[in-house]
Structure formats: structure tokens, C-alpha cells
Structure 1
Amino acid sequence: MIRTIDSKVSVAPQILPEQMPDIAAAGFVAIVNNRPDDEEPGQPSGAEIQAAAEAAGLAYTAIPVTHAGFGHGQLDAMRAALDAADGPVLAYCRSGTRSCNLWALAEAKAGGDSAELVEKAAGAGYDLSGIRPTLDALSGR
């Protein structure tokens, strides 16, 4: 269920603590959790994912995105998590969509080309047309 956006970032729906060794073996160096705790019954807590990630040698960052949407603090935190990683990052949420959107918004804010971001997301199966105006505004292009 992992979808590769580019060489630096992939996204996925909810991951489980027991998957961390396989995620590390696949070459990922960091996990970004974009899912708030208790979003739905039975999901693993961020603390459980963090403990398993760190035990597998993966860096872990929590940047929860709720129904309230995205803010500049979250975009900046995503950019910082990507910049801090010395290899591929796996970001996850319930379906992967919020993680993809957050990646695209953070990239646009850092000056990324909106058309390229939309194309990369489409290649991974995500439609960014709904946030395209925001991507354009953030990128300044």
C-alpha cells in the first residue's frame, strides 16, 4: 500500500508497529505520522508507532492533520522532517491523501513547481486539483 511520490517521499495509509522492520528494510529512514490519535477506534497510537519506528532505527515525527485542514506550522514541520532525513521518508495518515497533500503544500511553499507536484502526486494515484490554487499561491508562480 506504500505509494512512491519521488525518491525522497512515499505515502501510505495507516501503518502498524509490526511493519517497522520491513519499512526500514525497504530503505526508509524516517516516518512522518500525519494522523491524529483516536481518529478512529482501534488505530495504533502515535506513541506505539514511534516506539516501533525508533526500535527499527527510523526517525519519527508527528505532524497530525485533523479535519480543520493544513496550517503553515504543519507545512513547515513537514519541510523540516524531509530536510532532516538523510534518505527516503514514509508519511502516513488514514488513507495517504492528507500525507500527499501536506507534502505537496510543503514543497510548494519551498518554491516547488505546482505542475510538477501535481504530476508527481498523480503518478502515485493522488489528485491534487482541489488544492492546485493553494499550491500556485504558495509557490509564488
Structure 2
Amino acid sequence: MFRKITDSLYAAPQITVAEVAEAHALGVGLIVNNRPEGESADQTPGDEIAAAAAAHGIAYVAIPVTHAGFSIAQVEALEAALAGAGDAPVLAYCRSGTRSTLLWALTTAKAGGNPDEIAARASAAGYDVSPIRPQLDILSAQAG
């Protein structure tokens, strides 16, 4: 269920309270919720995930991403969350894991990551960054 993007980041479809224990077993130190509340009826509410995370000593942050797209504020929020996570792995989730992966990709490019390497890591985990590839190129170039 958790797809390894890098040694320090996993992406996943919607997680359940029970899966927070699995994240804890992997050493996850931060869970990032990229789903807006109430996006679908079968969604586990963020406050339930947050409470389960707290019970396992895992930090939790919500950075909702709607289907309208991404903003620099969301990129900067993930950047700050990742910086505060220390050495512990991070688990980011949304409905399918795609928005979480795309937000990671944008954040990594903004930090100067190579767009080809970003795309390869995402692809290896089953995610396609081609819809945002122009933005990755721009952010990476601006960082360099």
C-alpha cells in the first residue's frame, strides 16, 4: 500500500487508522494528509488519522490539494513539513497517492532536484509526473 518514492518518503492512497500502526512500524515520523476533508464519503477523516498518529508518536500535518491544482503555498508548506521531519521517513497520502507524489515532485524541484531523476523516482513507484513536468523544469531551473 505504501509506495516508496525515496528513502525518506512514501506515498499512499487514503490510509486508515489501522494503517497508521504500519507506518509506525516503518519508522515514519510524519504523516502528511493531502486530501481536502469531505472529498468522498469513504474517506477516513483527517482528525482520526491525526489522533492515531499522535497515539503512535507520529507528527501529522494537513496540506490539502484539490483537483484545481497546486500552489506555491502548498509547495512551501510541504517543504517546511519535510524540513521539520528530521531523519524519519514521511508518509504522504491522498485519494490515490498521485497528488502527494506530484506535490513532493514540485517541492523537490524547487529545492533544485533534477526533473529527470524526480520523474524516474515517481515512475518507479507507479506515479506519472508528466502533467506537471513543465513546472518541474521551471522550478528546478529557478533553484539552480
Q: Specify the TM-score bucket, using the shorter chain as the normaliser.
A: over 0.9
Which residue of structure 1 lines up, in the alignment, with residue 138 of structure 2?
137
CA distance in 2, matches of 1:122, 1:88: 19
Match of residue 15 from structure 1: 15
Report what 1:72 is aligned to.
72
Trace 1:85-96 onto structure 2 (pairs within 5 A). 85-86=85-86, 87-96=88-97
Give the distance between the partners of 1:130 and 1:66, measured in 2 at CA: 15
CA distance in 2, matches of 1:121, 1:5: 6
User: For the residues of structure 2 that align with 1:44 and 1:10, how far apart are their CA atoms?
Assistant: 19
Structure 2 residue matching 1:44: 3-state secondary structure: coil
CA drift of 1:128 comes to 1.0
User: Between Structure 1 and Structure 2, how many residues are aligned?
Assistant: 141
Q: Which residue identity is paired with 1:100?
A: T
Cα RMSD (Å): 1.0
| 1:48-59 correspondence to structure 2 within 5 Å | 48-59=48-59
In structure 1, what is the Cα distance between the partners aligned to 2:128 and 2:43?
Answer: 26
* Whole-angstrom distance in 2 between the partners of 1:57 and 1:123: 30
Once the two structures are TM-superposed, the CA of residue 26 in structure 1 deviates from its matched residue by 1.4
CA offsets 1:89-109 (integer angstroms, 9 cap, x no match): 000000000000000001111
Amino acid of the residue matched to residue 23 of structure 1? Answer: A
Gaps of at least 5 residues in structure 1 are none
Q: Which residue does 1:102 correspond to in 2?
A: 103
Deviations 1:3-25 (A, max 9, x none): 00011111000001122122101
Identity across the alignment (%) = 55
**In 2, Cα distance between equivalents of 1:18 and 1:123:** 26
Structure 2: 5+ residue stretches without partners: none
Give TM-score, length-normalised by structure 2. Answer: 0.94
Tell me the distance in 1 between the aligned counterparts of 2:42 and 2:130. Answer: 32
Where do 4+ consecutive residues of structure 1 move more than 3 Å? none
> Equivalents in 2 of 1:18, 1:8: separation in Å?
21
Give the aligned partner of residue 61 of structure 1. Answer: 61
Q: Secondary structure at the match of 1:5?
A: strand
